[in-house]
Structure 1
Amino acid sequence: MRNFGETIRHIRTNRGIKQNELYTDILSKSYAIQFEKGLHDISFYLLLQILDRFPMEVDEFLYLHRDYQESESSWFYSSIGKFGNHNDLAALKKFKQDYLSKYPNSEHQEERLLQIDFRVEQLTFYYATGEIVGGTVEPQIKEDIQKLLRNIQAWTMEDYRFFCNVMDLVDIFDMPQYFKLLLNSIDQYKDFEDGKPIICTLLINGMTKLIFSNMLEEAVKILPVLNDFTKEINQMFYRNYYFFFKALVSLLKGNQDAIAKANRTIEIFRDLEYEFHAEIADRILKEILSEADIQN
């Protein structure tokens, strides 16, 4: 991979910007020349100043720097999400080999391989029994994942993603404490647009687990947070989930008129061709109605 300076030079020349226009009051002429040749590094602070002159966001710069490729984290989580959500066991097993081949020396290899192994264990059991249950996972995988969760000190996006993928292994009686910690830290990311899909997915998974564990009081605490994170127009997909869970909570409190509202959100998923999510929401609603002995 080329040096940051070489990427900056590529962007600068493509946009017809002269060196003195870009580097004045940031780098000396001689240092800028060496930087663009890949012979000198600069601080992140100076890199931000240079990018601001284009202007260009850091995420876009890194995307260009990687030759229009996703980061390791983005590639990993988009892939495991795609194969896992479609219950594609063969693709998940292949993905594990692809990951090891593409990132053999990754600093995050341990936790990412654990996430793949966990999902493979779940799907293997699912194909054999028709159910997905955390208790069927190999004890060593479960122990390693729970150890990693316990060692998290300050929650970041990477930690949110990890927790979201392994939530089924968290003891239901520990869930309130985890979400108490999470809800305190999540608020700091309310203006971080790139993180909202991750946080929304985490909240949706948490709502599902808490509702099915008859912990309605805890689920209700998550609902207003999901509401706050889904008010922008680019969050419409997650907004529909918010209204789905709002209807479920109302239904569980005895309001049978909420059934129609829940069904409407399922139809919206179908109209938008999110068939997988329509099926998941429909299954959740039917199980709740069945347990409550209510006709849909």
Structure 2
Amino acid sequence: MKHYGETIKELRVSRNLSQQELCKGIMSRSNLSRFENQEYVAGFDKVIQLLDSLGVEMDEFLYITNDYQISGYEKYYSQLIYAENRRNSVELTQTAAAIKLAAEKHPTRRFYELYLLSQMALLESNLSSELTIDQISSQMRPVLLDTENWLFADFRRLNNFLRIFNVEEAIFLYGRAVKEFEKYEEFPRENNIRIYLALNLGQLLVEHGQGEKAAFYYEEAKDYAGRKNKLFQKLTIEAALEKVTQTQIDHQYVKGFSELLTVLDEMGYEDTVSALKNYHN
């Protein structure tokens, strides 16, 4: 990973800006030069101002500083979700083992929770795990139930560990999360968490024989996905809705959905089709 000053210099040069032009109103030219040459640590507020002048967002800045790679945590998290969605036992076992090693190498709370998540994924796939669901639950329940002021990471945490709660607790936490989520409506990294939170709550309700309630949350997820123009997520929700209301859906719709999956498969979207079928079957 590069020094922040080195990345600032790289961005400045790419914009054909002199040091004097970039630092105007922010810091002295000599301090910028020292920062770019890793001889000075600029304050966070100064870095933000420099990035604003360069027209670069913090997420992109960190991505460039990390040599155009996502963080190790995000890499392992993506691999885990991918293996779980594909229901690939070998891939899931290998990913969980890699996450365990990474958590040992990076003994942070974030990596430890990823380890807990990987163990839960193994259990849900009926694979050998080092922990029981009760052990995972005992560590994550207090974290989520005692959270007062939610941050973005807390929404993701709830989405990941929603299944450790009973139905009543899950519904309560979902309602609280949606209310807290209002302050993140315009957050650039909003992504799909609110959509999947409603979808996962629906799945939990289905497993507890509460299909009618599940359909309500699926509809909430569908509405939010529509407002955010998330096509794949809408298809995922349609698959889940079809499963809980199939006796009420007209045959033509069912046929249309199946034909859509066939078309996607023929176009080479095998992984997308596989993921959609996981929600439907």
Which TM-score applies when normalising by structure 2?
Answer: 0.82
1:286 aligns with none
How far the C-alpha of 1:70 sits from its partner, in A, is: 0.3
1:276 maps to 2:268: no
Identity of aligned residues (%): 20
Q: Any idea what SS the aligned residue of 1:67 has?
A: coil
Q: Which residue of 2 aligns with 1:175?
A: 170
Structure 2: distance between partners of 1:270 and 1:168: 31
| Structure 1 pair 62–237 and aligned structure 2 pair: CA distance change class (3 A) | same
Q: What is residue 125 of structure 2 aligned with on the other side?
A: 123
- Residues 262 and 187 (structure 1 numbering): CA distance in 2 closer, same or farther, change over 3 Å? farther
**Equivalents in 2 of 1:230, 1:8: separation in Å?**
38
In 2 relative to 1, CA 224–202 (structure 1 residues): closer, same or farther, beyond 3 Å?
closer
Q: Give deviations 1:50-92, integer Å, cap 9, x for gaps.
A: 1122211111111100011102442232111011112233333
What is the 5 A alignment of 1:12-27?
Answer: 12-27=12-27
Alignment correspondent of 1:99: 99
Alignment partner, residue 238 of structure 1: 233
Partner of 2:198: 203
Runs (5+) with no aligned partner, structure 2: none
Task: Assess if the C-alpha contact under 8 Å between 1:31 and 1:40 holds in 2.
Answer: yes
How far off is 1:225 after superposition? 5.3
Q: CA deviation at 1:229?
A: 4.0
Deviations 1:170-193 (A, max 9, x none): 112222211111111223222234
Please tell me the residue identity of whatever aligns with 2:224: D
Distance, in Å, in 1 between the alignment partners of 2:2 and 2:249 is 61
2:145 counterpart residue number: 150
Q: CA RMSD in A?
A: 2.8
Identify the residue that residue 70 of structure 1 maps to in structure 2.
70
CA contact 2:202–2:217 (8 Å) conserved in 1: no
- Aligned pair count reads 270
Q: Which amino acid aligns with 2:161?
A: V
Offset at residue 205 of structure 1 (A): 1.3
Shift of residue 215, structure 1, vs aligned partner = 5.8
Q: Could you tell me which residue of structure 1 aligns to residue 216 of structure 2?
A: 220
C-alpha distance in 1 between matches for 2:82 and 2:118: 12
- 1:15-36 Cα shifts (integer Å, max 9, x gaps): 3321111111111011111111
Q: Secondary structure of 2:91's partner?
A: helix
- For residue 124 of structure 1, give the secondary structure of its aligned residue in structure 2: coil
2: CA distance between counterparts of 1:265 and 1:186? Answer: 32
Change (3 A) 1:268 1:186: farther
Query: Deviations for 1:202-260, whole angstroms, at most 9, x for unmatched residues?
Result: 22111222244316346525623541343244x111122344456667x38x7443x54
DSSP 3-state at the match of 1:153: coil
Match of 1:53 in 2: 53
For residue 266 of structure 1, report the CA deviation from its aligned partner.
Answer: 4.9
Q: 1:227 to 1:193 in 2, by over 3 A?
A: farther
**Which residue is 1:288 aligned to?**
none
Instruction: With the length of structure 1 as denominator, give the TM-score of the two structures.
Output: 0.78
- Report 1 or 2 for greater relative contact order, CA contacts < 8 Å, sequence distance ≥ 6: 2
Structure 1 distance, partners of 2:76, 2:163, is: 19
In the superposition, relative to structure 1, how do residues 91 and 270 fare at CA in structure 2: closer, same or farther (>3 Å)?
same
The change in CA–CA distance for 1:264 and 1:195 in structure 2 (over 3 A counts) is: farther
3-state SS of paired residue (2:75): helix
Where do 5+ consecutive residues of structure 1 fail to align?
128-135, 284-296
Contact kept, 8 Å, 1:84 with 1:119, in 2: the verdict is yes
Q: Secondary structure at the match of 2:141?
A: helix
Partner SS for 1:195: coil
